[in-house]
Amino acid sequence: MARKRRGLPISGWIALDKPMGLTSTQAVGRVRRLLNAAKAGHAGTLDPLATGLLPIALGEATKVMPYAVEGQKTYQFTVKWGEARNTDDAEGSVIETSDHRPSMESIRAALPLFIGDIVQLPPPFSALKIKGKRAYDLARAGQPVNLKPRTVTISRLELVSPRIGENTFGEHAEFEVDCGKGTYIRALARDLARHLGTCGHLSALRRTRVGAFNEKQAICLDKLEAMVHSAPPHAYLLPIATVLDDIPAVAVTGAEAARLRFGQALRVPSSKQGTVYVKADGQPVALARIADGELRPVRVFNLAIERRNDVDYC
């Protein structure tokens, strides 16, 4: 007999403002316990030293997490010049130093070289797997970490501030970047420093956008805890469809929605082809595919039973 899942069948998104020091998995656990949610996951890992936007999917929203993960991301980050670390961020040990500090002009001149499709070598302390083992586990054990370079996409990279102050002239520089899936900002900081004739590491990182989610929607854990005890769910939960804005929508009747939920196909006069988002009465029904005038469900949202005390959690 299957074990019954504990917790409430809450569905939707929490745009969490992750604090420094928590792993993404720990942040998901905190949110899940706060809401007593039966199911939760995150869209796009943030390192423990990073802060900012971590979209957390609850319930049926976990079925559309790939659409959030694939979205463009925006980061604000700081590079400390003259000091390379084995993790490429402030957590690691110093492995190289340099007295050279790049000028503002040389930094700005270098930025266009890191825009577009670029090749990165991921940091050895990363969650990528090598023959079934995490790279960071191998690195911590002192074993060789042989990662392959890969192509990532950066659509915007700007110098925000050189962080010039008393006794710290040219020690740090702040940037903002828009990038695609799989981009390591630690690697970007490392490679930019090398190109500028010095060494460096990522000293601060904050994510401000993930696809359709932005920093203005983000809620810190303390505020979320207060809202859970005093506000209705719609005050802190974002709809499942938040990540589906770029997918064509198809509206169906209640009877047609019931057929789709049972895995049955529908004949549709639509000229649309490919993946569509199906809804009935404004509520999500399924992700489906249209081919040759036939609408077939791919992922069905089981929201009909997700009501408790007359509150709809989707």
Catalytic residue list = 47
Query: What distance in Å separates the CA atoms of residue 102 and residue 172, rounded to the nearest whole number?
Result: 10
User: By the 8 A CB rule, do 237 and 58 touch?
Assistant: yes
3-state secondary structure the chain: CCCCCCCECCCEEEEEEECCCCCHHHHHHHHHHHHCECCEEECCCCCCCCEEEEEEEEHHHHHHHHHHHCCCEEEEEEEEECEEECCCECCCCEEEECCCCCCHHHHHHHHHHHCEEEEECCCCCCCCEECCEEHHHHHHCCCCCCCCCEEEEEEEEEEEECCCCCCCCCCEEEEEEEECCCCCHHHHHHHHHHHCCCCEEEEEEEEEEECCEEHHHCECHHHHHHHHHHCCHHHCCECHHHHHCCCCEEECCHHHHHHHHCCCCEECCCCCCEEEEEEECCEEEEEEEEECCEEEEEEECCCCCCEECCEECC
Listed in sequence order, the residues at least 6 apart from 219 whose beta carbon sits closer than 8 Å to its beta carbon are: 14, 15, 16, 17, 227, 236
